Amino acid sequence: MRPDTAQPTKPNTGVIAAVRGSVVDVRFETNLPAIYSVLHIDAAQPVVIEVLAQRDTHHVRGIALTPTQGLARGMVVTDTGGPLKAPVGKAILGRMFDVLGNAIDRKPAPKQLEWRSVHNAPPSLVRRSTKSEVFESGIKAIDVLAPLERGGKAGLFGGAGVGKTVLLTEIIHNMIGHHDGVSIFCGIGERSREGEDLYHEMEKAGVLPKMVMLFGQMNEPPGARFRIGHAALTMAEYFRDDEHRDVLLLIDNIFRFIQAGSEVSGLMGQMPSRLGYQPTMGTELSGLEERIANTESGAITSIQAVYVPADDFTDPAAVHTFSHLSASLVLSRKRASEGLYPAVDPLQSSSKMATPGIVGKRHYHLAQEIRRTLAQYSALKDIIAMLGLEQLSPDDRKTVARARRLERFLTQPFFTTEQFTGLKGKLVPLADALDGCERILADEFKDYPESALYMIGTIGEAKAKAKPTADAPSAQEPKSGADAKDVDHAA
């Protein structure tokens, strides 16, 4: 038969055999769909199901990616013949999508899109770059004390109100403005309020045209929350491999990916493992995390918000996540309350990149000296609060002065908060940040007031901001313990 007269192939159809919440069993008489195949049901609200198990020669069991209200036994199910796909192409920039690739920003659907499977293997070892490179964020506290890895994964630990979203927004701004990169934000189990707020913040900051946002919202079925991360990775791989651009992938929250996998596992009837987690947790997390890699064509650098259940760092979810991270950024509520933004805790944050062989001996020794100084100051705070600064030895007083100036120098005005603070944002190159810390440790600024170093970019701005006050009484040397407390909590 000639191709132009060929009859269209009849779609493979089956019928619903059972519905239990998000789990749907479907009977097929002839061709059984493959694992990960997507099934479609035409109901009042169309339902999409992903096949996760073949039960026997005629039945498959799948998990719904959309609500299952209105389904009944006997309804016709159509096999699409392929896996779940995500849209890729330049047209997705500046848009917001759900797990099925539908635009959810109330704008017309983007055109000229290509659809690719969300199930891709991680790049092979041959394709991966073996060179360790630092990803400069332009934020002093991060670049100096916990440098990020280009093509690596960083965990961002922080509760509500400590500046986590602002920090993510600023890194996106710096990435787009100075690295000619693309940013992808993936919200796993996000509240719809948080997603809407973030969208408008990105729009106001002017970073939306070079970023893509995906959301598997908290009210959606576990299947949607479980697959949204894979959809985001497919988009990121397109920009890395086809466009040869660096990609910044932000995931909030990676714990909710594990949580969604646990729900799916339980619904599918699998025996739970330790503390109720799914037995396949390590494999599922690795399948997602290992796709985040640095290749010869570009790099996907990921920053992931990590929730630690009950602050228990021995929880299986935290342990498995830690094994994939190259840097950990801990945000401190105490520092945020003192006005020290970004509220990165220098003593708890760490990075595998902070070794002499990668960042260089000068940077490494400088970071160690900064930590040592700040740790000594932390140990002296109780004495200062009870007895006052004058009870300390001259060497300890110098240490306190250096530490307080370092704390203030590591603050920084952000571009994304200009409209709230009235301070012009600063992007500080690593060389300038190291130079400033080195000069503070050398006591070059001991005669300058601490306020001169607060919320500045490079160290040179301190000299323009204030003149030395050697003759004036030092503002940070209170005469009583009560005064010392006030100074300690001053912004």
> In this structure, which amino acid lies at residue 295?
T
424 assigned to active site: no
Classify each residue of 357-371 as buried b or exposed e, where b means 16 or more C-beta atoms within 10 Å of its C-beta: ebbeeebeebbeebb
397 assigned to active site: no
164 assigned to active site: yes
Cα 270 to the center of its chain, rounded Å: 30
Q: Which of 127, 191, 204, 361 is catalytic?
A: 191
Q: Which of 50, 190, 284, 289 is catalytic?
A: 190
Q: Which residue has the tokens 């949580």?
A: 259
Task: Please return the burial class of 444, using the count of CB atoms within 10 Å of its CB with bins 0-12, 13-18 and 19+.
Answer: middle
Query: DSSP code of 253?
Result: -
Measuring CA to CA, how many Å separate 86 from each of 101, 215, 233, 443? 5, 13, 10, 55
DSSP 153-166: EEEEE--TTSSHHH
Q: Which of 27, 150, 164, 240 is catalytic?
A: 164
Tokens in use for 331? 């945000």
DSSP H/E element including 47:
strand 47-54
Classify each residue of 250-263 as buried b or exposed e, where b means 16 or more C-beta atoms within 10 Å of its C-beta: bbbbbbbbbbbbbb
Say if CB 41 and CB 77 are below 8 A apart.
yes
Task: Please return the burial class of 103, using the count of CB atoms within 10 Å of its CB with bins 0-12, 13-18 and 19+.
Answer: middle
Tokens in use for 267? 């619904």
Active-site residue set? 164, 190-191
